[in-house]
Structure 1
Amino acid sequence: MKRFVTLFLALVMIAGCLAGCGDKKEEGTPADANTPTSTEAPKTDFPKKDIEIDVCYSAGGTADTANRALASIMGEYLGVNINVVNVTGGSGSIAGQQVMGAKHDGYTWLGDVAHTASGWRVMDYADQSWEDWYGFYGATAPYVLFVAGSSPYTTYQELFDAMKADAGIKWGNAGFGSINQLTGQLMLDIVGLKGTTVPYNGGREAAVKVIANEVVWSWAGISDVMDLALSGDIRILGVCDSEPLAIDCAKGAYEAASMLTDYPTLSTLEGLLFWGFRVPRDTPPEVVARIQEAFEYAVETDEFAKYCADNALTPAPACGPEADEMCARLESIYAWGLYDQELAAEGISPEDFGIPRIEDFKYPTNDRIAAINPWPNV
């Protein structure tokens, strides 16, 4: 079995980062002198024109739908249209480089998952990481294991038994080096199985290929595929969560079992998915403050709460210094996970970038992180 990262302590710490947005320290409590916090932002008349979000995963997935939900609410608040465009490939790095190559004036955002940029350097896709961005994340959801609705497998153990007999059974992932591929392989390690994986442009596309019987199973956030489960196009065999999941399927209601019942070590794969967007770190502070103001408004609305409820998501708003620390922790998990699973580029280690293993994590992780642009006060 390949070495896999111990995540439980990290996930407890990440949960502590999700208390809200901005600099929320109690009055009289000094910030760590080495930790970037916030700075005053002047007033602005931003925005004066429409905004574009380049979502780095395929249409219909959670990165896409979450950004469309936020775009609708935030656009109304800001008084402009916020248009969503899907730009896939390179584990999100193609969209990331496109946004980073645009003018850093607040009119072009990157729609992604909080971990997305954290693997680009170790995979040699782009010389960027979370520290080059301000991140705004609104919701989270657990992983699920699923097959086509027409599949002969009705439980995850039936699928696992088949895989024991045939290690060539194919499964689809969200892209080479994606966190779906990484966690899917970690899941197989934990349950003592091997499989043949096929990369696609996002978890949604992988689900479509499962339905088409191009691959037998896949592994994705429940919010990526809940509508397909409700329609009966896929069947969820198990959920990586402490509680089972009731599916009111059009072809007959059923309950997807908690995989933690038989494999408690899978708890290390809980709490890794957070969807939202980011903007370049050198965007003018007054513009960032205005975006943050609109984001904080949006995630507290009934409209966003309904979107989350309808898509099997849990609201988990994070921005400000809390989001920075959350992304840094996810980077330690993701970058070292890629390296340990031999998914990193040859000759490149997270250590080359000062990224600690999660068991050695302390924020800020290095002098470079301590010196990044602070968040503006809102």
Structure 2
Amino acid sequence: MKRTLIVALLVLVCGGALLFAQGQAEGASTKLWPRTQPVVTVGFGAGGGTDTAVRPVIAKMEEYLGETINVVNMEGASSAVAAQHVLNRPADGYSMFATGSAPISGFRVMGTANSSWTDWVSWHPFVGPAALIVRADSPMKTFDDVVAYLKSKKVNFGISGFGVGPHVLVEAILGIAGVSSPNYVTGGSCRNAAVALIAGDVDVAMSTFSSVVDFVKAGQLRAIAVTTPSTYQVDETLKIDSITAVLPGSENIPQLSETWPIFMRRDVPQNYIDKLTEAFLWAIEQPEIVNYAKKQALDIAGYYGESADRFLSFSEAGYAWTLYDAGLASKSPAEFNIPKLSNWNWDVEKAKISK
């Protein structure tokens, strides 16, 4: 009787262990990343426009997926260093990349990376304007004041980096206004450019508005104009002029407003793209993300799939030729068959996608 009881207990213990192991194996098999935690490499410093745009969305995607996604920052060459790092990793779905839509649009013409939107699938949570900013105590109170000051001498002008959205936008704006390029001072992020402005290291700056909106609301900085198609109502008390209202001929500038996508190599297994799309669409509908966008003066973009490809193709046409026409690019967009905006055609451009 005693021996029978011991045998029965052993059977129960072994059976329980087998069921536990089977459960563990099934749990691992349902994970999107069973081997280790994936990594999103942000191409700019912590606290900058790209970093602050993608982290909240990634956190909600983690919640949906029930898995941890690590986020690291890797600065260099306006995010080209981070892009190349991810491209050098295996196409196994464990490595992602985040930057602005502007920097990736300039990689090839700037000679920083041999990569373009055709190499990636992307998810764009937000779109937002850039702002021309000065210190709150600056004598420059209007756009015309800024133009006059820039024409008077070589001014120290703060930007996050060369070839990024605010840099290209200000070059386009200055070109229309008939102002030569100032002495650019790069800060590594839009936030740092604003901090340099507050510290008096630069006289004027151009930053993504989302990364400096708190400084503007706190009265430390003054936003002279934003790259929106109409007056920008931040809240009940704060209203900022559109660049189109203060600069004749700038009607197309708002079309180049930036997004901050999360990228994955286009040649990864399709299940990663499908599951991340599912998580992304859920994340951007959550109240925390909607409220975050409102607080940061951003709009929900929600681009993915073909809409994301189309947007990036159009963005590349605008940014690449703006950089080249301003004398800032090392190579002509024509070398890469990048059309001018006037010749851009999505049916032609989407044929460039190899997958």
TM-score relative to the length of structure 2: 0.85
Q: Secondary structure at the match of 1:215?
A: coil
| Alpha-carbon distance in structure 2 between the residues aligned to 1:308 and 1:367 | 30
1:320-335 equivalences in 2 (<5 Å): 320-335=305-320
Q: CA separation of 1:183/1:296 partners in 2, compared to 1, >3 Å: closer, same or farther?
A: same
1:1-378 pair list within 5 angstroms = 45-48=31-34, 49-164=36-151, 166-194=152-180, 195-246=182-233, 255-272=239-256, 273-345=258-330, 348-365=331-348, 369-370=352-353, 372-373=354-355
Shift of 1:115: 3.3
> Could you state the TM-score of these two structures normalised by the residue count of structure 1?
0.80
- CA deviations 1:291-349 (Å, max 9, x no partner) are 1111111112112111101100010110011211111111111111111111111xx22
The CA deviation at 1:366 is 5.6
Coordinate RMSD, CA, aligned? 2.1
Moved over 6 A (4+): none
Q: Is the 8 A contact 2:102 2:163 kept in 1?
A: no
Any idea what SS the aligned residue of 2:133 has? strand
Contact 1:141 1:271 in 2 (8 A): no
Distance 2:166 2:298 in 1: 17
For 1:182 and 1:301, locate their aligned partners in 2 and report how far apart those are by CA, in whole Å. Answer: 32
Residue deviations 1:7-29, cap 9 Å, x none?
xxxxxxxxxxxxxxxxxxxxxxx
For 2:320 and 2:161, locate their aligned partners in 1 and report how far apart those are by CA, in whole Å.
15
Secondary structure (helix, strand or coil) at the match of 1:102 reads coil
What letter is aligned with 1:356? P
- For residue 261 of structure 1, report the CA deviation from its aligned partner: 2.1
Q: Secondary structure at the match of 1:355?
A: coil
Residue type of the alignment partner of 1:309: K
Q: What SS does the aligned partner of 2:260 have?
A: strand
Larger Rg: 2
The answer as to whether partners of 1:73 and 1:298 remain within 8 angstroms in 2 is yes
SS in 2 for 1:94: helix
In structure 2, runs of 5+ residues without a counterpart are 1-28
- The structure where helix makes up a greater share of residues is 2
Give yes or no for contact 1:241–1:267 (8 Å, CA) kept in 2: no
Give the letter aligned to residue 70 of structure 2: N
Structure 1: distance between partners of 2:233 and 2:313: 34
1:56-81 CA-to-partner distances (Å, cap 9, x unmatched) read: 12222221112111111000111112
How many residues were matched structurally?
A: 324
